Structure 1
Amino acid sequence: MKTLIVYTHPNHHSLSYSFLQKTIQGLQENTQVEEIQVLDLYAESFDPLLVFNEQKRRRDMHADPELEKHRNQLLWAEKIVFVYPIWWGRPPAMLLGYIDRMFASNFAYRDNGSLLPEGLLKGKSVVCVSTMKGPSLYPLFWLNNAHKVLMRKALFRYVGIKKVKFFEFGGMEKAQGKQEQKLERIYRYFKAVAQ
């Protein structure tokens, strides 16, 4: 199983970074995992800004040479793991910018005249590992699961990815937030996970 991890947090001393390390550790000990690539969006200074003008047209985004490396990573991966905090009820702007630029027409999906397009990233699976300050049930009861709906329906299903798992860990800034137990849970999950 070829696995791409997309990590989105500016601080390598954060709890999100600890989740990244546990994800990597679990995957490295998983006999099903053939290879791991890590894309650290902040460390790589990924440019999340969309630019459309006379030189950069929206219809050409799927072939932007600046993003070829990242397109190849997405095509290569059988499993894509996103590790990020939830800020203001949604992923960080950096990750949303990555999504805007990478999941382009004629790369991630193709319009076919139907209500939904043809997803071009079929057969892949996704795991989202996210942390937040608020309580675990906050997204469900206060935001109508907006984060999961955004990621599962508006993004992954649209591009043909049907197998999506979420870990939303709340209360992560509390002294009794059970951070070590949750880190261990992530390690055990990725040590055993198959495609």
Structure 2
Amino acid sequence: MSRILVLDAHPDDRSLCAALAERYAVGARSAGADVELLALRDLDFDLDLRRGLRAEQPLEPDLLRAQASLVAADHVVVIAPVWWGSVPAVLKGFLDRTLERGWAYRYRDNGLPQGLLAGRSARVIMTTDSPGWWLRGLMGDSAVRQLRRSTLRFCGLRPVPATRIGPVHGSSAEGRAAWLEQVADLGRRDARRTPRADKLMPVVRVPAPVPDVAA
């Protein structure tokens, strides 16, 4: 059975992204996958990497649980809107904080990076108000490239196909229904893929027990 982690990276639970995440999960489950749907807006964590990479910033419990979910997954799906050629702050903060150096990636002695989440695949689904020719031809597809190449592939996940949904602004109810069915079909197809047997298993940080102040 394939284990799929779906990251809903839209701040609004009434958004098209949220609906797409739900529908993808339904499609994947109908094909037999074990699916965890994680809405980043519901997590309690500091979005900012306060001191960059100069000092350790302990992960909040929600991020520790997210790391455990990433380790357990065979396939990771990121669903987000394109905002200003990039992604929402909640997704950027989640990636900055969760994909720690030494956990999601490391640098070899020769200076080249090694992705420590290798053996997993991923998919990026992005909504946009811009037509595809504008995003890819004039804007360089910056948000998709950031997620696929500079983040997911950098950490070892591959392949990482991308699906672009849009233009959303001014879309009809029929068009949105078609997108929902398209994404459900992607979920069914991804669920039928055989999980890879070469997964690397990063160490999952275990939070220290909370002291009993009443003791």
Matched, 1:5 2:1: no
SS in 2 for 1:88: coil
Instruction: Tell me what 1:44 maps to.
Output: 43
Instruction: Tell me what 1:181 maps to.
Output: 178
Is 80-89 or 138-147 further displaced after alignment?
138-147
SS in 2 for 1:50: coil
Q: Identify if the C-alpha distance between structure 1 residues 64 and 46 changes in structure 2 by more than 3 Å, giving closer, same or farther.
A: closer
**One-letter identity of the residue aligned with 2:4:** T
**One-letter identity of the residue aligned with 1:22:** R
**One-letter identity of the residue aligned with 1:144:** G
Show structure 2 runs of 5+ residues with no match: 196-215
User: What's the TM-score, normalizing by structure 2?
Assistant: 0.80
Matched, 1:154 2:159: no
Superposition pairs of residues 22-171 of structure 1, within 5 angstroms? 22-31=23-32, 33=33, 35-52=34-51, 58=54, 60-61=56-57, 64=59, 66=61, 67-171=63-167
Counterpart CA distance in 1 for 2:156 and 2:171 is 40
Alignment length, in residue pairs? 189
Cα offsets for 1:132-188 (capped at 9, x unmatched): 111122210121122222122211221111210111112111234822211111111
**TM-superposed deviation, 1:24:** 1.2
**TM-superposed deviation, 1:13:** 1.8
Q: Identify if the C-alpha distance between structure 1 residues 91 and 140 changes in structure 2 by more than 3 Å, giving closer, same or farther.
A: same
**TM-superposed deviation, 1:123:** 0.6
Q: Identify if the C-alpha distance between structure 1 residues 59 and 125 changes in structure 2 by more than 3 Å, giving closer, same or farther.
A: farther
- Say which one has the larger Rg: 2
**One-letter identity of the residue aligned with 2:50:** V
Q: Percent identity?
A: 24
Counterpart CA distance in 2 for 1:135 and 1:118 is 35
Counterpart CA distance in 2 for 1:143 and 1:178 is 24
Q: Is contact 1:50–1:100 with CA below 8 Å preserved after alignment?
A: yes
Q: Is contact 2:115–2:156 with CA below 8 Å preserved after alignment?
A: yes
Q: Which runs of 4+ in 1 moved over 4 A?
A: none
Q: Is contact 1:6–1:81 with CA below 8 Å preserved after alignment?
A: yes
Matched, 1:191 2:192: no
SS in 2 for 1:180: helix
Cα offsets for 1:51-75 (capped at 9, x unmatched): 229xxx74535x6464321211111
